[in-house]
Amino acid sequence: MEETTPDRPGICDYEGSNYRTEFWEGQGRDYEDRVERVALKKLLPERGKHLLEIGAGFGRLTNEYTERYDRVVLLDYSFSQLEYAREHLGASDKFTYVAADAYELPFRPAKFDGVSMIRTIHHMKNVNGVLREIARVLSPEGVFILEHANKRNMKAIVRYALRRQSWSPYSHEPYEFVELNFVFHPHYMRDMLALNGFEVQKRMPVSFFRLGALKRRLPLNFLVKADDLLQNTGAFISPSVFVKSIRRAEVPYPKDITGSTSIPTDGMDVDPLFACPKSGGPLVREGDHLVSLKTGLRYAFRDGIYDFKAAVNE
């Protein structure tokens, strides 16, 4: 477990795992993959310039964004997952690969007109902290597509009614069923988005038929079509909820993350996208490193991936 603070709790780290092959490919989750793509297609804007994919992992959903956005930044805490994504997607100028902490995003303010976060926030203990960071890097009127695990799902409702589980699916507070694995009530997530300056435009229940018995007995195309129809009903009893929101209001931040104009940078190769995740100050390029002018911390660019997980102070 990584070092923790109140604003930056522990991180669920998939470094070195075979998440792609052990959880997705050949593991009976074609249905979940398909219906999540259906939901994304409904919620994504027709066109955008620069999207940040938080929790990109091995790039499972990245091709859904490349149809709409000119550039995609794939961000994940696991360097090894990004290595596979880069191997799979390639070293195109369309993609930027970044290993970093979602609680300390290494970007200048308002650099993205789109952000997505799918199957990731259920690992976040400090929801307010991560949403605050997303609001900071998202431009005004930018689109945020969020997926969260739904506490008020049908399985939990039935189990609670039969007294087979102790926690209530109706209470608004998050429930941690396994360490760093949370379910969230839809109203809780709606309120947290509003607190951080987001205006919810649409909420969509997804993945109604996430039961092994149903997936084994019914044709995949039938289940996907049925889920497609149910997504438009507003019946928030599904295991997953997708939310489309727009960044409206400004919110205060606990540290001055401005990309700092107070530090002289004349003649320096200042990076236009990245900022030091610790100080918020500008980063300058020195060979295969980005160097913070405020702290002296150095962040490596290796194997085509920007590594903000490990900083060197030289």
CB 34 within 8 A of CB 224: yes
Range of the domain at 174: 19-247
For residue 46, pLDDT beyond 80: yes
Query: How many separate domains does the chain show?
Result: 2
Instruction: Quote the CA–CA distance of 61 and 164 in Å, as a whole number.
Output: 35
Query: Which pLDDT does position 7 carry in this prediction?
Result: 62
Which helix (DSSP H) or strand (DSSP E) does residue 158 occupy? helix 154-161
Question: What's the rounded mean pLDDT across residues 261-267?
Answer: 63
Query: Which pLDDT does position 1 carry in this prediction?
Result: 41
Domain CATH for 196? 3.40.50.150
Q: Is the dihedral of CA 291, 297, 300, 305 positive or negative?
A: negative
Q: What is the 3-state secondary structure (H, E, C) of 173-206?
A: CCEEEECCEEEECHHHHHHHHHHCCEEEEEEEEE
Which among 108, 30, 98 is positioned nearest to 282, based on CA atoms? 108
- Model confidence over 119-158: pLDDT tens digits? 999 999 999 999 999 999 999 999 999 999 999 999 999 9
pTM of the model: 0.93
Same domain for 42 and 140, yes or no, is yes
Give the tokens for residue 228: 């497609």
Query: Which pLDDT does position 302 carry in this prediction?
Result: 95
CB 31 within 8 A of CB 78: no
Same domain for 58 and 163, yes or no, is yes
Same domain for 239 and 278, yes or no, is no
- Model confidence over 188-226: pLDDT tens digits? 999 999 999 999 999 999 999 999 999 999 999 999 999
Query: Which pLDDT does position 90 carry in this prediction?
Result: 86
Strand ranges inside 264-304, DSSP E:
270-275, 282-286, 289-292, 297-302
The pLDDT confidence band at residue 91, using thresholds 50, 70 and 90, is: confident
Same domain for 133 and 65, yes or no, is yes
Query: Which pLDDT does position 260 carry in this prediction?
Result: 46
Query: Which pLDDT does position 8 carry in this prediction?
Result: 66
Query: Which pLDDT does position 20 carry in this prediction?
Result: 93
Same domain for 220 and 277, yes or no, is no
Strand partners, 247: 198
Establish how many alpha carbons lie within 13 A of residue 218's alpha carbon, considering only the half-sphere containing its beta carbon. Answer: 15
Domain boundary among 213, 247, 281: 247
Which helix (DSSP H) or strand (DSSP E) does residue 224 occupy? helix 220-230
Q: Is 179 within a domain? A: yes
Same domain for 242 and 275, yes or no, is no
